[in-house]
Structure 1
Amino acid sequence: MDIKQLKYLIALDQTKHFGQAAALCHITQPTLSMRIRNLEDELDLVLITRGQRFEGFTEEGERILAWARTLLAAHDGLQAEAASCRGQLVGSLRLGMVPLASLNPMQLLEPLSQRYPELHFQLSSMTSEQIVDSLNRNQLDLGFCYLDQIDTQFFDVIRLTATRMGLLHDVRHFTFAASELSWEALGKLPLGLLTKGMHYRQSIDLSFRSHDIDPHTILESDSTFQLIQSVNAGICCAIMPLRSGIEEMNEHLKIIPITDAVIHSPLGLVMRRSEPRSALADKCFSEARDIFKSARDKQ
C-alpha cells in the first residue's frame, strides 16, 4: 500500500468516474484501475462496485475511504509540518465558505498568497452544515460559516461581522434614487433569490413574512454566479450581502443597503480542535486572526 493508491481512491470518490479520476491524477485509466485492484487484493476486500462503469463504493469501501482521507490528511500535515520547521508555508489550504456572506474571501486569500507564494488554495462553496461535517471528517482545514451551527467546544472560532443585505442591481436596467431601501420597496421588484431551504434564503423569507410581503420572485438558483448573471442581463435584482466584493466584479453592478436586513447569526472562521490537524491549518488560522484584527482596526 502507498499514498498514491489512497489518492486514486479519493479521486474516484470525487469524480465518480474512472476516466475522470485518472485524468485528475495524471495517469491512464488502466493504471488507476490496476492500482486500485492491487489495493483491494492487499486488503482482501472489494472496495468498488463495478459494472459497465463505476457504480459506487461497497460498504467496506466507504469505511476504507474514510481511513484513506485521514491518512492523506496526516501525510499532508507531515509535509506541512516539515515545511513549517524550515520556515516555509507550503501545501494546499482547503477552505469552505457559505455561498453568500458579508465577507469577500479575498480579504484572507490575497494577503496569505502574498506572504506565502508557495501556498495553494481549494475554495469550496458549501452550506454551514456541510462545512461542519467536512471539518469533522478532515476534508477541510478551515471554514467560513454561520456560528449558530457551531459547537465551540469542538471548534476554534474567529467571530466576524454579521451579514447585512442589500439590493444588487445593474444600473443599465434599474435605477433607485434612495440611498437605502425598505422591504416594502422590494415587494414589486422582479427578484432572483437563492433556492428555498438555504440558510441565506431562510433569513430573506423570514423578513418578507414579518413585513407581510409576498415577493415577486422570478428566478431561483443555488448558484450565486447564475444570480449575478441574471442581474447583469436585467432579468431581475437580487438580495445580496454587503461588503462581499460582488460590486467589484462589474462596473454596472451596484448594491443599495436594505433597512433592517441582517442575518442575525454572525459569520465566523472555524477550525477543528481535535487532531489530526495540520500545521498549515494552524498557521493560516493564526494569520487570519491577525489579518481580520488589522482590518477591524482600520475601520
Structure 2
Amino acid sequence: MLFTQLEYFVAVAREQHFGRAAAASFVSASALSESIRKLEAELGVPLVRRGRSFQGLTPEGEAVLVWARRMIADHRALKDEVSSAAARLNGVVRVGVIPSGVALAARVLAELCATHPDLQVRLVTGLTSEQVVGGLRSFEFDAGLLHPSAAAADDIRHILVETDRLVVVGAASRSDFGETIELAALEGLPVCVLEPSMRARQILDDALSERGVRLRPRVEVDSVEALLALARTGEWVSVVPRSAVPKAAASIGVKVAEIVRPEVSIPIVLAMLGEEPRPPLSLAVDAAARRLVTPPA
C-alpha cells in the first residue's frame, strides 16, 4: 500500500469527482483511477461505487476513508517532526476560518511565518464554526479560528485569542449614522449581514431579540469581504467585526459606527485536535497565537 494511493482515494472522496480529484492531485484521471483500483485489489473490497461517473463510496470505502485520513495526517506529522528536529519546520499548514476571524487569521499566520519562513499556508475562509471543527476532525485542517461554542468538545483543544466587536460600516458619504449607533437603530437602515448559519450572525440576532428588535436584512452573504464591498457602494450598510475594517476606514471609502446599547461582542478561539503527541505544525500555530495574546516583555 502506497501513501499516494491513500491520498488519491481521499481526494476522490473530497471532490466527489474523478476528474477534479485528478486535477487537485496533479495526475491524469486514468492514473488516479488505476491507483485506486490497485488499493481496492490489495484490500479485497470495492471502495468506490462507479457508474458513468463517481457514484459515491461503498460502506467499506467510508470505513477506509477514516483510516486513510488518519494515516495521511500521521505521515505528515512524522515528516514535520523530522523537519522540526532539524530546526527547519516546513510543509503546508492548513487553517480553516470563520468570516469574522479572517483579520485575526492574517495576524496569526504572519506571526507564524515570521518564525518559520519555510512554511506555506493554505487558508480556507467563509466557513461556519461547525465546518471548521469538521475539517479538524477529518484532518483537512491543522488549526481553525472559530467561535468557542463549536469547540466545546472533548477531542478539541482551544484557546481564546481575541474578543471582537460588531460595528456598522457604510459609505463615507452617508449621513444617517455617526460615530456610534444604538443596536435598535439598525431596524431603520438597509442592512447587510452574514448568513443565518454563521455564528456572528446568530450572536447579532440574539442581541436584537433581547431588545425586541426585528431586523429584516436587505442582503445576506457568507463573507466579511462581501459585506465591505456592499457597504462601499453607498446603497447599504453592513454589520461586520471591527477587526475587519482598516484603522483608516476612509482609505477604503467607508466610515465606521460603534454599536452601543448594547455592545455586541464576538469571542474567537484557536482550535486544534486534542491528540497526543501534538503535531509540530499545530504546536507552531498554537505558539504563534499565544504570542499575540501575550506579547513578549
Could you state the TM-score of these two structures normalised by the residue count of structure 1?
0.89
Q: Deviations over 1:263-285 (max 9, x none)?
A: 36x32112222236311211221
Residue 157 of structure 1 aligns to a residue in which SS?
A: strand
* CA apart distance, 1:114: 2.5
Change (3 A) 1:108 1:168: same
Contact kept? 2:162, 2:268, Cα under 8 Å: yes
Q: Which residue of 1 aligns with 2:278?
A: 277
Change (3 A) 1:206 1:288: closer
Change (3 A) 1:102 1:167: farther
Q: Which residue of 1 aligns with 2:167?
A: 166
Q: Which residue of 2 aligns with 1:267?
A: 268
Residue 180 of structure 2 aligns to a residue in which SS?
A: coil
Greater Cα shift, 40-49 or 119-128: 119-128
Q: Which residue of 2 aligns with 1:142?
A: 143
Greater Cα shift, 126-135 or 10-19: 126-135
Q: State how far apart, in whole Å, the 1-side matches of 2:162 and 2:102 are.
A: 7
* CA apart distance, 1:210: 2.4
Contact kept? 2:204, 2:264, Cα under 8 Å: no
Supply the AA of the counterpart residue of 2:258.
P
Q: Deviations over 1:245-273 (max 9, x none)?
A: 46779621332210123236x32112222
Residue 252 of structure 2 aligns to a residue in which SS?
A: coil
Contact kept? 2:193, 2:217, Cα under 8 Å: yes
Contact kept? 2:108, 2:285, Cα under 8 Å: no
Q: State how far apart, in whole Å, the 1-side matches of 2:246 and 2:139 are.
A: 30
Q: State how far apart, in whole Å, the 2-side matches of 1:152 and 1:142 are.
A: 15
Q: State how far apart, in whole Å, the 2-side matches of 1:177 and 1:168 are.
A: 10
- Counting only pairs closer than 5 Å after superposition, residues 204-223 of structure 1 correspond to structure 2 as 204-223=204-223
- The gaps in structure 1 that reach 5 residues or longer are none
Q: Deviations over 1:38-60 (max 9, x none)?
A: 11111111111111111211111
Q: Which residue of 2 aligns with 1:45?
A: 45
Contact kept? 1:189, 1:216, Cα under 8 Å: no
Change (3 A) 1:22 1:101: closer
* CA apart distance, 1:123: 1.6
Change (3 A) 1:78 1:150: same
* CA apart distance, 1:37: 0.8
